[in-house]
Amino acid sequence: MSVVAAREHVEDLQRFVARRVGDRERAADLTAEIFLAAISSAHRYRPRGGTPKAWLHGIARVLVANDRHRRGRERAGEERLRGSALLDEETRRMRRGSTRGSTRGSTRGSAPSPPSRGRAGSAHR
């Protein structure tokens, strides 16, 4: 496949990628990656296997899917980090709360004791 044939498909590929990515800057980056991949694997292009447009779209589908998976893994990692940070904060809060109320004999926050009735079984009058 020639560079001239590839240039004919730049705008079409940009639209293809932009529809799937939704972010113009990311679409531009991916389009550049598509052409870099096409250039590095141009020796494998076989005209009998399909048109240059179809070949480029095949590369685009693979790279867009890879990008989606990579971004999903990044988001999942960020969520795990954010979740562990929240857990860490909750643990710190719990520890601070337990050290404040850990004085011996403290009844703060506990239910009141029932009134004393004297010895068990004795009647009060």
Which letter does DSSP use for residue 47 in this model? G
d(CA 52, CA 1): 7
* 111 is a domain residue: no
9-34 tens-digit pLDDT = 888 999 999 999 988 999 999 999 99
Which letter does DSSP use for residue 76 in this model? H
* 34 is a domain residue: yes
Q: Domain range for residue 61?
A: 3-96
**Nearest partner of 51 among 14, 94, 2, 115, judged by Cα:** 2
* pLDDT exceeds 80 at position 60: yes
* 42 is a domain residue: yes
Q: How many domains does the chain have?
A: 1
* pLDDT exceeds 70 at position 79: yes
Residue 101's pLDDT is 53
* 102 is a domain residue: no
Residue 25's pLDDT is 92
Tokens of 99: 């050290």
* CATH code for the domain in which residue 63 is found: 1.10.1740.10
* 53 is a domain residue: yes
Alpha helix stretches (DSSP H) within 41-106: 52-100
* 67 is a domain residue: yes
d(CA 5, CA 13): 13
